[in-house]
């Protein structure tokens, strides 16, 4: 079984997120999403519309996602790759090069983001309704 792991906040889930998850799943048989906890988001100065449990519930309903685990800090990625025996690490290409140090442990792939959609744009639009 080929395992894929990705990380993110996945706030205000939109078609760009689903597209990223679908493409990530194409690199393996099992997709693990490490979802930023509310506490970790605070450290990153991010505020999610939905709390961790709600975002986890939404992601678990996505047919491409096999397992959702908490992301508590930046440093846990190597440990997660080893613990969950991930063969592939996938992130959006806005992170290009930032996780190349993981190539010692698994394949690293940066995928293009879906154009014209983001959580920031979605939240901005919704706040103006």
Query: Using an 8 Å Cβ cutoff, are 46 and 9 in contact?
Result: yes
Query: Using an 8 Å Cβ cutoff, are 21 and 106 in contact?
Result: no
* CA dist., res. 35 & res. 56, Å (int): 7
Question: In the annotation, is 115 catalytic?
Answer: no
Question: In the annotation, is 103 catalytic?
Answer: no
Of the candidates 22, 25, 44, 56, the residue annotated as catalytic is 44
Of the candidates 46, 47, 83, 103, the residue annotated as catalytic is 46
Active site residues: 44, 46
């Amino acid at each position: 079984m080929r395992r894929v792991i990705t990380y993110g906040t996945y706030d205000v889930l939109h078609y760009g997120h689903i597209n990223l998850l679908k493409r990530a799943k194409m690199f393996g048989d099992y997709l693990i999403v490490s979802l930023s906890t509310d506490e970790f988001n605070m450290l990153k100065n991010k505020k999610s519309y939905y709390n961790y449990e709600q975002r986890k519930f939404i992601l678990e309903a996505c047919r491409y996602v096999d397992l959702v685990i908490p992301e508590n800090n930046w440093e846990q990625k190597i440990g997660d790759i080893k613990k969950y025996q991930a063969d592939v690490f996938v992130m959006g290409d806005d992170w290009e090069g930032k996780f190349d140090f993981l190539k010692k442990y698994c394949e690293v792939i940066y995928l293009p983001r879906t154009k014209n959609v983001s959580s920031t744009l979605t939240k901005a639009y919704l706040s103006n309704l």
